Amino acid sequence: MECVANFSEGRDRRTIEAIAAAVAGVPGVGVLDWSADADHHRSVITFAGRPEAIGEAAVVAVGEAVARIDLTRHTGVHPRIGAADVVPFVPLRGITLVECAWLAHAVGAEIWNRYSVPVFLYDAAAQSESRRNLANVRKAAAGSPFPVPDFGELAPHPTAGAVAVGARKILIAWNVFLADGNVAAAKEIARRIRQANGGLACVRALGLYLAGRGQAQISMNLTDYTVTPPHVVWEAIGRIAAELGVEVATSELIGLIPEAALAAAAAGGVDLRIEDFSPDRVLESRLRTIAMESSTD
């Protein structure tokens, strides 16, 4: 399985590298990728391995984040509920989503026991229908009064907040940039493509302004790329952008992308204009590389 953990730190490289090092220090775990964004003030670390190793790696990564990240001093455009914000487990090969959900429960309990950070279970690990959607969990945890967590007490950690731990299918985290800073257009595009507003199935989207780039961004999660692949989203964004009189520039991956999603775009003749793309950004390629490195150790 893999874990695609999101942390509320995108500016201090030492903190991000320390969290990644904590993950890599667990035997049987390979770090596939990590990325950071200063405007979002967020980093994503993707790692893979067998369940028992991945579970421990997730717990120690959360511990490192709790020790190093203070949310009372945090500003960023991306929504967040904790220093270690989201910790999802994803089945890759020879394991089921249900087994990932079981691991999420065990990891959530251990996070509370070790670090006193409240835990909310979401998606396939959720214990109630209202918490299957991560957006619902975020909204509740950010509100007042603080909701009853699945593990922990009725108050966030004073500096680390809370953490959402879940299990889900492979998700593509992907952002599309407009050529200028027209955030109103980005928000309108996001509104029209997101599933919650009757747009594209399995698409979550926000329109944001990134001061560091001077550009507006449509920030997206494609929760099932087999239903709505990236090239379909790219074409929809292009159509709406043309209606609004704005230009689509480039896109970026956060984490990795499955080979099948790229193949579908190529078959459709669509260039996703992914910045700094290389084979290392492809999930299967990274898994093969990690497997080869492990076999030679």
Please calculate the CA angle 276-284-289 and round it to the nearest 5 degrees. Answer: 85
Structure tokens at 208: 């944001």
Q: Which residues of 62-77 are buried (b: 16+ CB within 10 A; e: fewer)?
A: bbbbbbbbebeebebb
Instruction: Tell me which amino acid residue 195 is.
Output: Q
Residue 33: Cβ-neighbour burial (10 angstroms; 0-12, 13-18, 19+) = buried
Per DSSP, the residues of 130-173 read GGSSHHHHHHHHTSSSPPPPSBS-SS-BTTTB-EEEEE-S--EE
Strand partners of residue 131: none
Q: What is the largest CA-CA distance in the chain?
A: 55
Q: What is the DSSP string of 109-133?
A: HHHHHHH---EEEEETT-SSGGGSS
Q: Active site residue: 41, 78, 157, 231, which one?
A: 78
The answer to whether residue 231 is catalytic is no
CB-side exposure of 84: number of CA atoms within 13 Å? 35
Q: How far apart are CA 88 and CA 164, in angstroms?
A: 8
Q: Tokens for 175?
A: 């952002």
As annotated, the active-site residues are 78
